[in-house]
């Protein structure tokens, strides 16, 4: 192999060649780096860490207010009605309210209707109870006929009736031993009364004259209970009571005594007057 001749090598040429090659390498490297820098800028790969926050700048002048925006919203389309919910449980009863003001009275008088046709005659009703005794004087014609003055009994000391009670309770008592019972003829008579006396003073003692229709066990009233608060042995006289036409005949009579259940009156006499 042939070796170069060192005496023939130009050192200046070699240096220039080396320098030019170095420059080309450096330029090539710098160009490559510049290329990478440009690529990084476009791709965002060259973003470095954030720097310190700068000092806040001076507040700028307030800008002109913009136009007011629309405040009225557009009404949407109503949705479909929902399903009816389940009925809830009944709530507790509320407090009773105050009474309302009374309303104006309505018209009470109705229009008179047309007259109805005459109906059929109904059946005869039952016989009503006996009415109260009528109080009246005898007919003037009865004054022209002899009066009846029938003494049922007479005893100076009085016939004792032991503690008679109230007639309303069924505790009135008949004169003992039935000594007041008589049959008297009231034919052509129109009014009747009784006179009597007793040996004590009390408004609680009262007498009543009754009669028994023939063939019955019922006693009916001729003169109702009466009595006054007067002195012992004083005469007491009832008012005149009318006789029904069916009673103007012979009647079987008796005397009943009413009291307070504690007194024992002695009845001295009872007289029946008719005219």
The pLDDT score that the predictor gives to residue 83 is 84
At residue 84, the pLDDT reads 83
> pLDDT value at position 122?
76
Q: Which of 265, 212, 272 is nearest to 238 (CA)?
A: 272
Residue length of the chain: 275
Report the Cα 84 to chain-centroid distance in Å: 37
**What is the DSSP track for 158-215?**
EEE--S---GGGT--EEPGGGTT-EEEE-TT--EEEEEEEESS--TT-EEEEEEE-TT
Residue 148 CB-half CA count within 13 A: 25
CB atoms within 10 A of CB 172: 19
Residues of the chain with pLDDT under 50: 133-136
Give residue 134's pLDDT. 47
d(C-alpha 219, C-alpha 178), whole Å: 14
Greatest Cα-to-Cα distance within the chain, rounded to the nearest angstrom: 218
Instruction: Work out the number of other CB atoms within 10 angstroms of the CB of residue 220.
Output: 14
């Amino acid at each position: 192999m042939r070796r170069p001749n060192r005496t023939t090598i130009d050192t200046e040429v070699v240096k220039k060649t080396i320098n030019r090659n170095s420059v080309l390498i450096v330029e090539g490297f710098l160009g490559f780096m510049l290329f990478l820098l440009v690529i990084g800028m476009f791709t965002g790969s060259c973003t470095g860490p954030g720097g310190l926050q700068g000092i806040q700048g001076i507040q700028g002048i307030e800008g002109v207010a913009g136009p007011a925006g629309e405040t009225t919203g557009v009404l949407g389309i109503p949705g479909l009605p929902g399903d009816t919910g389940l009925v809830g449980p009944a709530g507790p009863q509320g407090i009773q309210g105050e009474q309302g003001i009374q309303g104006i009275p309505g018209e009470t008088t109705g229009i008179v209707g047309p007259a109805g046709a005459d109906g059929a005659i109904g059946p005869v009703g039952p016989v009503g109870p006996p009415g109260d005794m009528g109080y009246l004087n005898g007919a003037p014609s009865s004054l022209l006929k002899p009066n009846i003055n029938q003494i049922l009994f007479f005893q100076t000391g009085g016939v004792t009736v032991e503690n008679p009670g109230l007639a309303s309770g069924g505790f009135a008592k008949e004169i003992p031993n039935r000594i007041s019972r008589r049959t008297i003829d009231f034919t052509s008579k129109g009014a009747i009364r009784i006179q009597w006396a007793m040996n004590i003073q009390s408004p609680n003692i009262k007498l009543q004259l009754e009669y028994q229709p023939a063939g019955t066990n019922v006693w009916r009233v001729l003169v109702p209970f009466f009595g006054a608060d007067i002195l012992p042995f004083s005469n007491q006289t009832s008012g005149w009571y009318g006789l029904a036409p069916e009673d103007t005949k012979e009647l079987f009579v008796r005397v009943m005594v009413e009291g307070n259940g504690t007194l024992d009156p002695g009845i001295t006499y009872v007289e029946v007057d008719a005219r």
